[in-house]
A and B are shown apart, each in its own frame.
Chain A
Amino acid sequence: MSRFGPVATGLLCLLLFFAGMQALIDSGLISRYIVPAPSEILQSFGRVVMEENIGRRFLVTLSECLTAGVMITVFGVAGGVLLYRYKLLQQAVETWVAALAAAPVVLAYPLFMVIFGRNSWTIIMIGFVAALPPVILKTLEGLLGTRKVLINVGRSFNLSASQQFWKIMFPAALPSIFVGIRLGLIFALINVVGVEFLINFGGLGQLIEDLAERYDLPGTYAAICFVILVSVLFFMAVEKLERWLRPVN
């Protein structure tokens, strides 16, 4: 009971909330033209899945996220290594990279549309630019945080610079690099779905915009729930993957 009690309480509260909403909407206290009843949303799930090509849309969004993910891994890790190797460059641009991490890159989506056109590359590139800084910073942090004793072990074995990097520094930095990639993938997904919605192009984000423009309220809510579900499952999968890939300290 002590272990499952809080979880059950959370679920019960959620169910009570939906039941309360259903009652308020059925009684007319909340207009069903503003908030559809949870039962209507539940019913429209099947329709949205069957009629709106949700499988294809999911794959489009996933492929955009993964393309951005591969790009941030390649360029982010390379950028982090570059900053680690050249201290002067690191001192000059590390604060800029940190500032870019805090910058609202997604707001420049009209600019990306001008450069890449209204297509998947606009979405992928925004995901890439927004998700790149955490990978660079975490790679750098991992390399800088390598324990002195490990570096000394490498020196005692007379390792060359390249061996020192691949056998000592890089493996030691991997946990931090994986944290960066996980953060980057989360940023990428948020931006990809957001831009799909904003430019009405692509996969799951566009589905919400489509349904909202048709004033299909239960469908819109169902699509939002579906996107939330996909996002949550994606975050959980990325977390598990990070734990699985991360070497044991």
Chain B
Amino acid sequence: MAQTGQLTKASERAPAVSPVTLLRIAIVLGVLAIWEFLAHSGWLYRDVVPSLVAIGRALGVLLSNPDYWFNLGVTLYEIACALAIGGISGVVVGLILGGNRFLARAFEAYLYYLGPTPKIIFFPVMIMWFGVGSGSKIALGTLSCFFPVALSVAAGMRQIDRVLVRVGKSFRANTLQMIWKIYLPAMRHPIVNGIRLGLGVALIGTLLAETKLSNKGIGFLIINAYSTFDMPRMYANLIVLFVLAIGANALVGRLGGLNTLKG
């Protein structure tokens, strides 16, 4: 509480910086100070908590290494393929289930309960089907991505305003026109939301598969750093990965939001 009081006084002196920003800065600085203290305390095994300088140096080395960009490219390619295949098939299945009550009651329960199962357990099967290369990683990412997109689109389709559907029918729109002109524009939110969820799980699925069995990609770099106990490099890889994952999630959400404002 005393700290909050100090922060409030500080904000009065410098109104340009809000108390919220000051608190955020204080939390970040506090965490970094505790981290640095732990790094030098000798309480933990050496390098379990490396110093911030070592992590910063490792981050610099990592980002200036062309090999890193190659591996990042491999991972991004796998995630993009997984998102494209899983996303498109998810949208198609979602449209079918959302548009047909009989099919929804026949099959949606399977999707609903299979959706949250841990997909990584399918990895041995994917290796058998698609080999040890990028194929098995893309397949696992696709499998992860498919369920949230399909369920979100199916639910979204059922929430479409019936007036819009009647307008489309009164203009004698055919099935393809109904999908392009009515259903898809009316379902921007569920589709963007589904793709956002799908992107998150596709990323996790692909990278976990890379950590399990791979010789390229960011997942491989992380597990390689762990295997050689190069902790600063592992932390650097994780930091970049988390920034990219959270950034991509925010970007998809922001794009969805912007579309809504423009629409």
A residues with a Cβ closer than 8 A to B are 5-7, 9-10, 13-14, 34-35, 86, 88-89, 91-93, 99, 102-104, 106-111, 113-115, 186, 189-191, 193-194, 197-198, 205, 208-209, 212, 217, 220-221, 224, 227-228, 231-232, 235-236
Assembly CA distance A75 to B6 (angstroms): 28
Determine the distance from Cα of A119 to Cα of B203 in the docked complex, in whole angstroms. Answer: 26
Contacting A190 at CB < 8 Å: which of B116, B128, B242? B116
| Top 8 closest pairs, chain A to chain B, by CB | A6-B105, A212-B124, A110-B226, A10-B106, A6-B106, A92-B23, A194-B118, A232-B113
Q: Which of B3-44 contact A (CB under 8 A)?
A: 4, 7, 19-20, 23-24, 27
Residues of B within 8 Å of A115, CB to CB, are 48
CB distance from B148 to the nearest CB of A (A): 13
Give Cα A169–Cα B46 distance, bound, in whole angstroms. Answer: 47
Residues of A within 8 Å of B235, CB to CB, are: 111
A9 to B110, CA, bound (A): 13
**Contact of B124 (CB < 8 Å), options: A109, A191, A198, A208:** A208
B127 CB to nearest A CB, Å: 8
A35, A115, A190: most-surrounded residue (chain B CB, <10 A): A190
A-B contact pairs, 6 of them (CB 8 A): A9-B106, A10-B107, A107-B207, A110-B222, A220-B124, A235-B113
Report B's interface with A, CB cutoff 8 A.
4, 7, 19-20, 23-24, 27, 48, 102-107, 109-110, 113-114, 116-118, 120-125, 128-129, 200, 203-204, 207-208, 211-212, 219, 222-223, 225-226, 229, 231, 234-235, 238, 241-242, 245-246, 249-250
The verdict on A103 contacting B246 (CB below 8 Å), with A92-B23, A113-B226, A232-B113 known, is: yes
Give Cα A86 to B23, complex, Å.
Answer: 12
Distance between B108 CB and nearest chain A CB, rounded to angstroms: 9
Q: Which of B7, B102, B121, B249 has the most CB of A within 10 A?
A: B121
The answer to whether B116 touches A231, judged by C-beta atoms less than 8 angstroms apart, is: yes
User: Interface majority SS on B: helix, strand, loop or mixed?
Assistant: helix
Closest approach, in angstroms, between the C-beta of A232 and any C-beta of chain B?
4
Which B residues are CB-close (under 8 A) to A13? 106-107
Partner of A227, one of B104, B121, B128: B121
* With known contacts A93-B27, A114-B226, A205–B110 Cβ distance under 8 A: no
Q: Looking across the interface, which residue of chain A has its beta carbon closest to that of B238?
A: A108
Contact for B120 among A6, A91, A104, A194, CB less than 8 A:
A194
Chain B residues near A217: list those with CB within 8 A.
128
* A107 and B118 in contact, given A102-B245, A198-B208 (Cβ under 8 angstroms): no
Q: In the complex, how many angstroms separate the beta carbon of B93 from the nearest chain A beta carbon?
A: 14
Question: Residue A186 contacts which of B4, B116, B250 (CB distance < 8 angstroms)?
Answer: B116
Neighbour of A221 across the interface among B118, B125, B234, CB < 8 A: B125
Which residues on A sit within 8 Å (CB–CB) of B27? 92-93
Report the separation of the CA atoms of residues A34 and B124 in the bound assembly, to the nearest whole angstrom.
Answer: 11
Q: Do the beta carbons of A198 and B117 come within 8 Å of each other?
A: no
Report yes or no: B121 in contact with A193, Cβ–Cβ below 8 A: yes
Nearest CB in chain B: distance from A243 CB, A: 16
Per the bound structure, the CA–CA distance linking A32 and B191 in Å amounts to: 38
Q: How far is the CA of A190 from the CA of B242 in the complex (A)?
A: 19
